[in-house]
Amino acid sequence: MLIEVAGLNKVYRTREGEDIHALSDVSFGVGEGEFVTVVGPSGCGKSTLLKILAGTLRRTSGGVHMRGRPIDGPSRDVGVVFQAPVLLPWRTVLENVMLPIEIQKRDREKFALQAQHFLKLVGLEAFSGKYPNELSGGMQQRVGISRALVHDPALLLMDEPFGALDAMTRESMNLELLRIWNESKKTVLLVTHSIPEAVYLADRVIVMSPRPGRISEIIKVDLPRPRPLEIINSEAFGRHVVAIRKHFQSLSALDA
């Protein structure tokens, strides 16, 4: 197992002194090279979970390990992508992708090639000298993905990376992400509130429910790979979607 989460709890204390139980007794594992998605309605603690794994948020109790070592802070072996691409507008596309290399003081020359490689992988090699405001939202997010991969991390954490994109762009980004995952052999943990997206991408889907955030079920997705987009119309795909949706019958916060 690359990641092991056991009995994880997170309690936020608000300014008013009120306690918010964001995560309650969350346990799961993620194997090397696995693609795991986390799905659940807004407010069920998905981002909280991801931040704890990224080492930017302290847990209240429980164990979180990566390759057997407790996660107590940000790691050089993790890449993150948020919903907003948050590129630095004064840096070119290439300079943005190189940000982790600069921060981690790695060999720039060597990783510049790596950066070019990932830009090519997301189809942006012609844009490496452009500035972010010259790019569309989908292109910016692809730059963000290249940035998360450039330092060759073992784990890629993605928090609703395509949540701000339109449906068409989103589909093609999903396809592209699977291609990148297939080529780069990374382990991916991706948060989404779209059930079809969760199923389409994942080896396993972690289904979460809110208040307090806990895991309702972990569903194995036994759809063959590679998965063409048409697979979402198949009966097997539909079965997975139904199995997940039954957890949210009373909730309308999720996409169909």
Partner 1 sequence: MSRASSEEHELIESGKPRTLAQTLREKPEIPLAVVLFVGLVGGWELAVRLFEIPKIVLPAPSAVALALWNGMQGDFLKHFGITFYETIAGFVLGSATGLVLGALISQFRLLERTLYPYIVAFQTLPKVAIAPIIVIWFGYGVTSKIVITATIAFFPLLANTIVGLRSAPQEQIELMVAFTATRWQVFRLARLPQALPYIFVGLDVAIVLSVIGAIVGEFVGAQAGLGYLILQKNFNMDMAGVFAILIVLSGMGIGLHLLVNAIQRRVVFWMDGSSDRVMGA
Ligand X SMILES: Nc1ncnc2c1ncn2[C@@H]1O[C@H](COP(=O)(O)OP(=O)(O)O)[C@@H](O)[C@H]1O
Residues engaged in binding Mg ion (CB under 5 A): 47
Residues forming a β-bridge with 208? 215
Task: Return the number of other C-beta atoms located less than 10 Å from residue 12's C-beta.
Answer: 14
Cα radius of gyration rounded to whole Å, the chain? 18
d(CA 114, CA 112): 5
The verdict on 43 binding ligand X (CB under 6 A) reads yes
Q: Which is nearer to ligand X, 20 or 231 (CB)?
A: 20
Nearest approach, Cβ of residue 42 and ligand X (Å): 4
Looking up tokens 């949706």 gives 245
Identity of the amino acid at 13: R
The verdict on 48 binding ligand X (CB under 6 A) reads yes
d(CA 230, CA 124): 25
Could you give the string, one character per residue 209-228, with x where binding to ligand X holds by CB under 6 A and - elsewhere? Answer: ----x---------------
Q: Which is nearer to ligand X, 85 or 132 (CB)?
A: 85
The verdict on 84 binding ligand X (CB under 6 A) reads no
Nearest approach, Cβ of residue 247 and ligand X (Å): 14
Footprint (CB under 8 A) of partner 1, residues 127-166 = 131, 133, 151, 157
Footprint (CB under 8 A) of partner 1, residues 63-102 = 73-76, 78-80, 82, 84, 86, 88-90, 99-100, 102
The verdict on 51 binding partner 1 (CB under 8 A) reads yes
Nearest approach, Cβ of residue 195 and ligand X (Å): 14
Question: Judged by CB under 8 A, which stretch of 54-62, 107-115, 189-197, 209-217 contacts partner 1?
Answer: 54-62
Among partner 1, ligand X, Mg ion, none, residue 82 binds (CB under 5-8 Å by kind):
partner 1
Residues that bind ligand X (CB under 6 A): 12, 14, 20, 22, 40, 42-48, 213
